[in-house]
Structure 1
Amino acid sequence: MKTIYKKLLFLVLLLPFSVLAQNTVNGSVLDKISGQPIPGVNVNVQGAVNGVSTDFDGKFQLSNVKKGDKIVFSFIGYKNSVVSYVAQKSVTVSLEEDQNQLKEVVIQVGYGTVKKKDATGAVTVLSTKDFNKGPVTSADQMIQGKVAGLQIINGGGSPGVDPVIRIRSGSSLSANNDPLYVIDGVPVASGGVEGGRNPLATINQNNIESISVLKDASATAIYGSRASNGVIIITTKKGKSGELQVTYNGNLTVSEITKKVDALSSTQFKAFVAANGNATQQALVGTANTDWQKEIYRTAIGTDHNIALSGGTDNVVYRASVGYANLSGILKRDNLQRTSLGANVTGNFFDKHLKIELNNNTSVIKSNYSNNGAIGGAVSFDPTQSVRNADGTYFQWLSSPTEINQLAGVNPVAQIEQQNNYGSFYRSIGNIQLDYKLHFLPALKAVANFGYDQMTGAGYGDTAADYRNGLSGSGFNNTYRNVESRDNKLMDLYLNYNAKVDAIATQFDVTGGYTYQDFKESKNKSSYNFQNNTTVADLFTPTRVNLQSFFARTNITIADKYLLTLSYRRDGTSRFTEEFRWSNFPAVAVAWKLNEERFLKDVESISSLKLRGGWGITGQQNIGNSYPSLPLYLASNSSAQYQIGDTFYTTYRPEAYNSNLKWEQTTTVNAGIDFGLFNNRVTGSVDAYQRITKDLLLYTYNPSFFGFSNQDNYNVGTIDNKGIELSAEVIPVRNDNFQWTIGGNVTFQDSKITKLTTTQANTPGIDTGGIDGGTGNTIQNHQVGYSPSSFFVYEQAYGTDGKPLEGVFIDRNKDGVVNEKDKYRFHKPASDVFYAFNTSVSYKNWDMGMNWRGSWGNYNYNNVDSNKGVYNTVLTRNTDLSNGVANLLESGFTKSTDFQLHSDYYVQNASFIRLDNVNVGYTFNQKENATSLVKLTLSAQNVLVITKYQGLDPEISGGIDKNLYPRPITFTLGLNVNF
C-alpha cells in the first residue's frame, strides 16, 4: 500500500511539469510549387481535439503540443502532411497538391451542391485560378473561351457593354436566349434598365469565387422554365476565420484602336469626285485632309481599385469589399464609373445546427455615353472638310446661309461634343439564407432563402442649341430624361435529407420545396423643348410577372460507383392564360464510375473515368412582353398624342394579344464521359447532345385583317440543335520550380429548323435581320431545313475579270426573270466550330499565360460595304457630299438598290483566330516573418486577329456588321497586395 501511495504522490508532483511541457508551436504552410502561403489549412494534433486553421498569410499558432505528438496538416486539394514535434519552436510545411482531390470540386447545382466526381450532368466549374487574367471588368470576361459549348461575344469596345452569351446556341428564335444567372442563390433578371450597361458588370469581378456552367437539361431542369438556355451560377467569396486580412487589387489600363474602317482618304475622295461628279458637286470639294475616325477616337486610360476585408471566429465569419473603377472608352467622352460594395456574413449557431448567411452585392454606375452615330458618321463624312470653320463653329452642310441642311450628314465631332447623354444605374442583389439541421434528425435540413434583385436606371441628356438647327443659336436645345426600375423578389422554401444507408452502401440526397418569384417593372419618359416651351411625357403602366414553382430532386449513389439523379419541377407563369399557365419539367441522369470497378481499380494510369447520360425537359416563357396573352389597352406614346393648344392628350387603343400562347419546351438528350489519366496530369471530358425545342415563340406577322397589329407572338415550330463538345487539360511538366499547363476546348454545333408554321400563306419562311440601306430591308430568313437566320440573298453574277457585275444576278429558278423567287439561303451567322486554347507556365516566382479563341464556318453580312460602298453614297445630291468605303472602288457599283443590298457579294467568310490575352506576373517572395504578399502583372488584351473577313471585326453577334464600336487593344498593369 505504501508503494502505491508513493507512486501516486510521484505522479502528482510530476503533473505541473507535464503541463509545462505542453508547448505552443508557431509556423506557416506554403504551396510546394509556388511557395505561396495557403490560408485555411487545418492544423491538428493527431488523436487530439485541439486544432487551428492557418490565417490568410498561411500562418498558425497551435497550443498544447507535447514532445512526440504528430501534427497533421490537411487541406482540400492537397496531400496531408505529418510532422513529429520534437520541441521545435517553429514549423514550416510545404503541401503538395493532390491531383485526385483537386478534381473533387464542389459544384453549385441549384438548391444544393454536389462533388464534381459525383455530378451526373454536363457541368463545368471554374474557380479563381481558372479565370482569365487582364483587364476583366465583368463575370463574362472571366470565363470567355474557358468552357466548351459556351460562346461569349462582346458587344464592342465600349466599357461595360452588353455581351451576347449563348450556351449550346440558345434554343429559341425570338424569345430570350440568354442563360439564367444565379448569384449567391438568387436567380436574377437578365437584361438591364435605362441608363445601365452590362448587368454582369455590376458584380465586382474581384468578389467572385467560382462560376458553374450548367449545360444539359438533367443539370438545369431543377430551374424549370428559366433554364432552357442553360444556367450560370456565380458564387461570391466568403470570409474565413482568423485575424483581419486585407486584400488590395488595382490596375491601370491603356487602350488604343487597332483597326479602322477602310474609308476613302482625302486624296482618293477628291479623285473620285473629279472623275464621277458633276460640276456642282466638284465645286463642293474642300481643301482639308481630315481623318474623321482619328478625330473621334482617342487613347483611353482606365483605373480599377478594389479592397477587401475578411476575418472572423470559429462560428461567425465575414467579408466586405469596396471597389471603384473609372474606365474610358476609345470613343471620345465615352466613360463608365462604377462603385461596388460586397458583403457576406455567415454564422453558425446552436452547435452548428443553424447556419445563417447574408449576402449583398451592390453597384452604382455612372456613364457618359458618346453618340455612337458618330462611328458611322466618321466613315461617311466628307474628308476634305475641316472639323471647324474659321470662326470656330463646327463645319456643317448648309441649305441656306443660316440654315443647316437637314438631309446631309452630320459632323461626327459635333455629334460627340454637342450632345450630352448620361446614365445612372443602381443595382443591389442580396439574400438571407437560413439552414437548420433538425436536432432530433441531423440528416434532415430545412432551408429558407429570401432574396431580391433591385435595379433602377436613368438616362438623361441635352442637345446644344445650334446642333443641326441653324447657326444663329435659335435651335431647339432639347433635354430628355428616361427612368426605369425593376424589382425582383424571391422566396425559396425546401427540405433536404442527406444520409447513407450502410447496409446497402447507398447515399441518398433528397430535396423538395417551393419557390416564389415576383418581377415588377416601371418606367417613365419625358422631354422638354426650350423653343416651344413644351414638355412631352410618355405614360407607362407598371407591369408585373409572377412565377411559382414546386420542385424535387433525388441523388442516389450506390457503392460510390453508380449514380442516379431524378428531378422534377412544375412551373406556373402569369404570362399565359389559365389553360396554358402550368407546365412540367422532369429530368433523369445516370453515371457510372468505371475507375471504381475492380477491373480498373488497379490500373494506375487511370485516375478517374466516368460515363454519363441524361434526359430532361426545360421551358421558356420570357418573350419580353409581360402580358402577351391578355387583352389590354395601350396608352399612346409622345409621338401619337393629340395636341389641343399647348397640351398633349394621351389616347388608348387595344393591344395585340394571343390567348393561345403557351410554353416553349426544350427536350435535351446528353451523353458524356469524364476522364483523368496519369494521376490526373491529363483530364478532360467529351459530351454529345441533342436539343429539340418545340412550340417556338416568335414575334411574327398576323394574317390579313386579323388582330390589333401587324405582328404578334405565336408558337410557330420546332428547332433541332446538335453538338459535340471536347475539353482537356494537360500538365506536361510539374516539379518544385516549374509547371507547364496546356488546356483547350472545341465545340461542333449544328442547328436546323424542322417545323415552321407561319401565319402568312405562300411565304418563303420568316424574314428577319434588319439592315441599313433602303427602307425596311432584311437580310436573313427562318425556313424549314435551314439554320436559323440564314442569309437570304440573290446570287451575284461576275465578269471574266472576277469583279461583280452591277445589277446582274443569277436566274436560279430559270423562269426568265430575276425576282424574289430567285433568292436563296447562303451561309449563316452561327459557326460550325468554335474553339479555345490556353497555356500557362510558372517558374519560381514568375508566371506567364496566353489565351486564344477561334471560330470556323460563320459568315457576316458586311452592311458597312453594302450601305456605303456605292457611287451614289458619295454623290447623292448637289448640295452636299458624303464619303464612301474603299469597297466602292473594287465593286464599281454606282446605285444602291434592293437587289444590290441583297447581293451575296456582301456575305463574307468571318472565320477567325484571336489572341485574346497575354499576361506575365511576378510574385515577391514572402519571408518567414513577413505579413504581406505582393504580385505585379502585365497583360495585353485583344492582341491579334487572323481572318479573311474584309470588315472591321469578324466577331459580330447575329452576323450583320453595321457600325461596330471597335474593340481596342488594351495594356494592363496590375498590382495585388495581401496583408
Structure 2
Amino acid sequence: MKQILPQPIKFLRYSCVAFGLYITTSAASLGQNQPFADSTRFAADTVQFTYKPYELSAADFNKGLVTSVEPAIIGRFDGLRVVSGGGAPGTGAEMVLRSGTSLFGNNSPLVIIDGVLLDFFSHSLHASNLSWLNPNDIAAVSLLKDASATALYGGAAANGVLVITTKSGNAGDKIRLQYNATGAVSSLRKRADIFSADEFRILIRERYPNQQHLLGEHNTDWQDEIYRTGFGLANNLNVSGAMGPVPYRVSVGQLKQDGILKTSGYKRNTLAVNLQPSLFQKHLTFNLSMHNTRQELQLADERAIPAVMAFDPTQPVHADNKYGGYFAHTRPDGSLLSSQINPVSLLEQMENSDEIKTLSGQAHVQYRLHFLPAFTANYRYAYFKSDSDYSSSWPLDMASRPSSHIDLIKHALESETKHSEVFITLDQLLPAWSSKLNLKVGALKTYQENLSQYEESQRSSILYTRAQNRQLISENLSYYGSFGYTLFDRYTLSASFRNLSDSRYKEDVFRHQSKAVSIGWDIVKERFLANSEFIALLNLRANLGSFSRLDEPGRFRSIGWSPVQGSPTPGGSNWYVFPGPSNEIKLEKTLQKSLGVEFALFQNKILGSINYFQNKSSDLLIPFRLPYGSGNGLRHLSVGDLTASGLETALHYTIYQKGIAFLKLGAHATFIRNEVGSIGDATKKYTYSDSDYGLALVEGKPAQVFDLYQHLYDGDGKPIQGGYDKSEYGYALKYAMGTNQPKVYYGISSNGGYRKWEMSLLVRGSARQQVYNQADAKRSWLYANDKYPSLSNATRSYLENGFISSHLESSHFLEDASFLRLEYVQFGYNVGKLLGNKVNLKVNATVQNAFILTKYSGQDPEVSNGIDRGQYPQPRTFSLGLNLSI
C-alpha cells in the first residue's frame, strides 16, 4: 500500500520528488482525477508496497527555455544519465540507466506515454524521439528501475521504464485558462582556443619565414563569423475544466528558437486534446487523447565548427572567384585545395532542413464492475504516425561540395504504429489479515510499418539520380501479468512477467521474455519501532529479474532493412534474423538483482534511499566485419558478456520550514562499475568501425575504453614528436585506457522561498570519465613549406607540444572530463491577483548552463560517445518567463 503521511507535512510530496524520492500524502495523490487502471499505473501500484516510483511533477521540471522531455529531466533521477547530443535546437539526447545492459543494442529506457509503449525506431534523423511532445502538456515523469516493476513490459524494459503522464482536465472544475511564455537569449559559453590573425602572423614569421608570403591581409575571427546570439520564444495556451461529466483539456503551443550556430533554428507547433467522459456513476469511463505536432528544423552544417579551428585567419570570408564568392584555397594552377573548407561557405551555401509531422492518439475504455468495484476490464486502441522529410542541397560551384555531380539529397522516414490492448485488473483489500491483493492480466498486439526513402540527384539533370527505398513491417503479440500481495500491512510479495513474439524473427527461439519477483518489509510498522520518534519510515526491498531480447545493433542499424523496388507493398519485405547460422544468434539475456532501503528521520525532516544493484548480461550480439570480398560485410555472433554493479543514493533535507519561509536541499549520486567479461574466443580486443576509431571493447575492462598509442615524453615532460611506445619489432603499440562512461554522476538541488519570492537551482556533474579531444588532436600542430600552398591555423596547445604533424590516435589528447555544471538557477516572484482577483500573475528570470568547472580543455566535457570532434556547443541561455491563469 502507499505510504500515507500525516496531514501537517503535505508539502513533502512537492519538495521530495525533485530529488529522486517519492512520498505521497494520500492514497489518491498518484492521480485522483485519473480513474484508469492503465498498465503503467498498475505496475507502480503492485510494487508500491516495496518500491516507490521516482516521480518528477511538471512543477519540478528543470527551468528556463526547456523544449523537450530530456532537458526537462536531465540530472533529476539517480541512476539515469542523460547526455545531450549537442547544443543545436531540437537535438536529441542519449539516456542510459545504470550504464546499460547491451554492447550494441538499445540502452535507453523504454518510454511509455499514457500507457502506450513508444517504439525505439528513430522518427527523424536529427530531432529527438520525444521532441514532438510539448513539455507544457506533461503532468509528470516517473522512472521505474527495479525489475519487479519493469518486467511487466518485457525485454525492452531491461534498461528501465520512463513513464510520461500528460495533463488532463479535472472532474467538477470550472473553466480555467492558462497562458505562459518564455523569451530567451542564448550565446556561446566558451570559444575554441585558437590563434588570432595577428598571433598567427607572428608564428609564421618567426617559425616559417619562407612561407610568410602566403599570409593574407585580413583579420578574420572565424568564430565570430559562424556564431551569433540566438533568440527563442515559447508560447503555450491551454483551457481546461469540465462540461458536465466530461473533464477536458485543450492546449496549443508554439516554439521558435534560433541556434547560436548561424543558419540553425527550430520551430514547433503543437495541439493536444484530452477528454475523459464517464457514465453509470463512473463505472464506465473513457480516456480520449490526441497530440498533433509539426516541427521544422533548419540544420547548419556542423563541419563548420572544426573548420574554424583550421582555416587561415588572415584570409577574407568572401572573394571574387568561381566558388560562389567565398574565399577558397587554390593551388598555383588554380585547382581547388579541398582539404581546407571555408566555414562560412558551409553554413551559407548549404541548405539543410528537416520537417517532421507527428500524430498520436488513443482511446481507452474501462468498465468497473458494479457488484465488484475492485475489478476492472479495459480496452485500449492507440495510433502513432510520424513523417520526416529531410532535404540537403548546395550549388555546384560550392568549393566544399562533395566531389560528384550530386547537388540534392532527400531522405524521407515514415513510421506508423497501431496498438490494440485488453487487460483486466483486481485491486482488493482483505481486512481479515490487513492485506491487499493486486492482480493484472493482459494482451497487447502491435502492428508497425517503417519506410525509408533515399534519393540523390542533380537538380539540372535526370542523368545523375540514385534512389533506394527500404521498408520494415512487423507485428508482435505479447501476454503479460503481475501479482502483488501485502500481509499484515507490512510484508509484501510481488511478481510480474511478459512474453512477446515478433514477426521479424522466423524462429520461435527468439521469443522475448521477462520475469521478476520482489519482496519487501515495512520495518517501521513492527512493534519495536511503532512508537519511534526518530524513525518515521523504514522500508526494505529486494528484487530479482530476468530479461531476454534481441535488439537491432544501433551502430549497424541499416543492415536490418530489406530493399524494396519501387513503391512498397504490404508483405513486400520481410525482415528476419541477422546473417549467420541460427546457432550463432541467441537472445541477449540480463539477470538483475537489487537491494534497497528507504527511510525518513526526525519527523520526515530527512528523507533518503540507498539502493545496490547488479546486472549481468550474456549472449550479447556483436557484429564482426568480414574480410573484403567475402560476401556479407558483417557476421553477428552472440558472444558478449557485460557486468555492471553499483550504488544509488538520494537524500533530501528540509533545512527550514516555518511560516512564510522555507529552504530545502537535495542530492543524489550514482556510483557504478561495469566490466566486459567476454567478446568471444577469437579476440581479446574488439575495435569499433573507422568512424569511431579510438574506442574498443577489451575483456576485463569497462565497456567502451579508448584504444590509443601510448605517447612518450621527454625529460621536461614535453610530448615527443611521433614518439610512441613500440614493440621489439619497432611497431607502435596501442593500449586500452580510460573510458567514456563516468564512474560517478550526481545532482544537487535546492529550492527556497520567502513571502512571494522563490528560488531554485540544479547543479549536476560526473567524475572519473575521459574524453578524447580529437578536435585538438587534428589542429595542435603547425607546419609550412614549399609543398604547402596554403596555411592552416592551430590551437594554442601547439605552444606546449610543438608538433609539426597531427597525432590522431595519441594518448596525449585523452583528457579527464570530470565536470560540475550549474544547469540552471531561477528566481521567481508571485505578483498575485490582478483585475479584481480574476487573474493570477507569476514572473521569473532564469540562467541555464551558467558555468562549468572542469579540467577538460575543449568547449564542453559532455560528449555522448566520448570523442570530441568539435560538437555543437551547448549555449548559455538567459530567459524571462510569465504565467497567467484565469
**Shared fold (TM-score, shorter chain, > 0.5):** yes
Secondary structure of the equivalent of 2:185?
Answer: strand
State the 1:462 CA deviation.
2.2
Distance 1:920 1:635 in 2: 56
Q: Please state how far the C-alpha of 1:109 moved relative to its aligned partner.
A: 6.7
Q: Distance in 1 between matches of 2:563 and 2:794?
A: 43
Q: Does 1:895 align with 2:805?
A: yes
Deviations 1:647-669 (A, max 9, x none): xxxxxxx9945534232121110
Preserved CA contact (<8 Å) 2:247 2:277? yes
Equivalent residue, structure 2, for 1:641: none
In the TM superposition, what are the counterparts of 1:775-924 in structure 2 within 5 Å?
Answer: 778-811=693-726, 816-819=728-731, 822-872=733-783, 877-896=787-806, 900-924=807-831
| Change in 2 beyond 3 A, CA 1:80/1:913 | closer
Q: State the partner residue of 1:748.
A: 671
Are positions 1:302 and 2:229 aligned together?
no
Output the CA distance in 1 between the equivalents of 2:54 and 2:608: 11
Compared CA separation, residues 617 and 719, structure 1 to 2 (3 A): same
Deviations 1:717-766 (A, max 9, x none): 210000100001111111120010101101000000112216xx4x4410
CA–CA separation in structure 2 for the residues paired with 1:368 and 1:98: 41
How many residue pairs get aligned? The number is 853
Q: Normalized against structure 1, the TM-score is what?
A: 0.83
Q: 1:945 maps to what in 2?
A: 852
The CA distance in 2 between the partners of 1:349 and 1:431, in whole Å, is 19
Q: How does 1:395-544 map to 2 (within 5 A)?
A: 395-399=327-331, 405-468=336-399, 478-544=407-473
Change (3 A) 1:629 1:330: closer
On the 8 A contact 1:183/1:234 being kept in 2, the answer is yes
Cα distance 1:285–1:631, how it changes in 2: closer, same or farther (>3 A)? closer
Asked if 2 retains the 8 angstrom alpha-carbon contact of 1:121 and 1:614, the reply is: no
Matches within 5 A, 1:608-757: 608-623=537-552, 634=563, 656=579, 659-660=582-583, 661-702=585-626, 708-757=631-680
How far apart are the structure 2 equivalents of 1:714 and 1:189?
Answer: 25
Instruction: Pick closer, same or farther for the CA change 1:564–1:106 going to 2, 3 Å.
Output: farther
Q: How does 1:190-339 map to 2 (within 5 A)?
A: 190-194=120-124, 196-240=126-170, 241-277=172-208, 279=210, 281-313=211-243, 315-339=245-269
Q: What code does the residue aligned with 1:599 have?
A: F
Contact 1:220 / 1:618 at 8 angstroms: preserved in 2? no
1:586-617 deviations in whole A, cap 9, x for unaligned?
A: 10011111111121121123221100110101
**Contact map agreement 1:575 1:621 (CA 8 A) in 2:** no
The aligned residue for residue 974 of structure 1 is 881
Letter in 1 for 2:597: I
Q: Which residue of 1 aligns with 2:569?
A: none
Supply the AA of the counterpart residue of 1:123: P
- How much has 1:195 moved relative to structure 2? 5.7
Cα offset for 1:702? Answer: 3.8
Cα offset for 1:871? 2.8
Partners of 2:556 and 2:797 in 1: CA distance: 47
* 1:168 aligned residue: 98
Could you give the per-residue CA deviations for residues 908-927 of structure 1, whole angstroms, max 9, x where no partner exists?
11111111111000001237
Q: Secondary structure at the match of 1:925?
A: strand
Q: How many Å separate the matches in 1 of 2:85 and 2:555?
A: 26
Task: Give the 3 Å change call, closer, same or farther, for CA 97–912 of structure 1 in structure 2.
Answer: closer
Letter in 1 for 2:635: D
Aligned counterpart, 1:10: none
Secondary structure, aligned partner of 1:746:
strand
CA pair 876-560 structure 1, distance change in 2 beyond 3 A: farther
In 2 relative to 1, CA 468–699 (structure 1 residues): closer, same or farther, beyond 3 Å? same
Structure 1 segments unaligned to the other structure (5+ residues)? 1-75, 82-94, 638-653, 772-776
Matched residue SS, 1:396? coil
* Aligned-pair CA distance for 1:542: 1.7
Assess if the C-alpha contact under 8 Å between 1:247 and 1:977 holds in 2.
yes
Distance 1:273 1:552 in 2: 72
For the residues of structure 1 that align with 2:843 and 2:706, how far apart are their CA atoms? 48
Measured against aligned partners, the alpha-carbon deviations of 1:147-182 in whole angstroms (never above 9, x if no partner) come to: 110111111111111111111111111111111111
Distance in 2 between residues matched to 1:290 and 1:230, nearest whole Å: 50
Mapped to 2, the partners of 1:464 and 1:823 lie a distance apart of 43
CA distance in 2 between counterparts of 1:770 and 1:843 reads 57
- Cα shift readout 1:762-791 (whole Å, capped 9, x = no counterpart): x441002746xxxxx721211110001111
Residues 710, 480 of structure 1: CA spacing in aligned structure 2 closer, same or farther, 3 A cutoff? closer
SS at match of 1:288: coil
Aligned counterparts of 1:393 and 1:969: Cα–Cα separation in 2: 33
Distance in 2 (CA, whole Å) between partners of 1:626 and 1:258 is: 31
Cα separation, 2, equivalents of 1:469 and 1:720: 46
Distance 1:966 1:196, change over 3 A: closer
Contact conserved, 2:338 with 2:400, CA < 8 A, in 1? no
**Farther off after superposition, 914-923 or 108-117:** 108-117
Aligned to 1:564: 493
TM-superposed deviation, 1:514: 0.8
**Map of 1:27 onto structure 2:** none
Structure 1 contact 422–461 (Cα < 8 Å) conserved: yes
Higher-RCO chain (CA-CA 8 Å, sequence separation at least 6)? 2
Give the whole-Å Cα distance in 1 for the aligned partners of 2:121 and 2:501: 22
Structure 2 CA distance, aligned partners of 1:973 and 1:934? Answer: 14
Q: Which amino acid aligns with 1:863?
A: Q
2:106–2:554 contact (8 Å) kept in structure 1: no
**Compared CA separation, residues 511 and 742, structure 1 to 2 (3 A):** same
| Percent of aligned pairs sharing the same letter | 29
Distance 1:329 1:591 in 2: 49
Q: Hey, what does 2:17 align to over in structure 1?
A: none
Query: Per-residue deviation at 1:292?
Result: 0.5
Asked if structure 2 preserves the Cα contact closer than 8 Å seen for 1:781 and 1:789, the reply is yes
Determine the structure 1 residue equivalent to 2:514. Answer: 585
- Mapped to 2, the partners of 1:624 and 1:579 lie a distance apart of 20
Contact 2:622–2:640 at 8 Å: present in 1 too?
no
Q: Does 1:360 align with 2:290?
A: yes
Report the residue type matching 1:743 in the other structure.
G
Amino acid at match of 2:856: Y
Distance 1:743 1:286 in 2: 56
Q: Which amino acid aligns with 1:885?
A: T
Correspondence for 2:476: 547
Deviates more, 1:913-922 or 1:444-453: 444-453
8 A contact 1:529–1:535 mirrored in 2: yes
Deviations 1:499-533 (A, max 9, x none): 12222322111001111122211121223314544
Which residue does the alignment assign to 1:765? 685
The offset of 1:572, in angstroms, is 1.4
Q: Deviations over 1:283-330 (max 9, x none)?
A: 221011111011000000000000011010462100010000000100
Structure 2 vs 1, CA of residues 469 and 511 (structure 1 numbering), >3 Å: closer, same or farther?
closer
Report the Cα offset of residue 691 of structure 1. 0.4
- The residue aligned with 1:389 is 319
- Contact 1:176–1:622, Cα closer than 8 Å, also in 2: yes
Higher Cα Rg: structure 1 or 2? 1
Deviation at residue 78 of structure 1 after TM alignment? 8.5
Residues 253 and 945 from structure 1, CA distance in 2 versus in 1: closer, same or farther, beyond 3 angstroms? same
**Offset of 1:439 from its aligned partner?**
3.0
Shift in Å at residue 194 of structure 1? 4.2
Alignment RMSD: 2.9
**Residue 581 to residue 431, structure 1, CA distance change in 2 (3 Å):** same
Q: Kindly report which structure 2 residues correspond to 1:37-48, keeping only aligned pairs within 5 A, or say none.
A: none
Offset, 1:482: 1.7
Question: Contact (CA 8 Å) 1:369, 1:421: kept in 2 or not?
Answer: yes
2:489 aligns to what SS in structure 1? coil
The residue number in structure 1 matching 2:18 is none
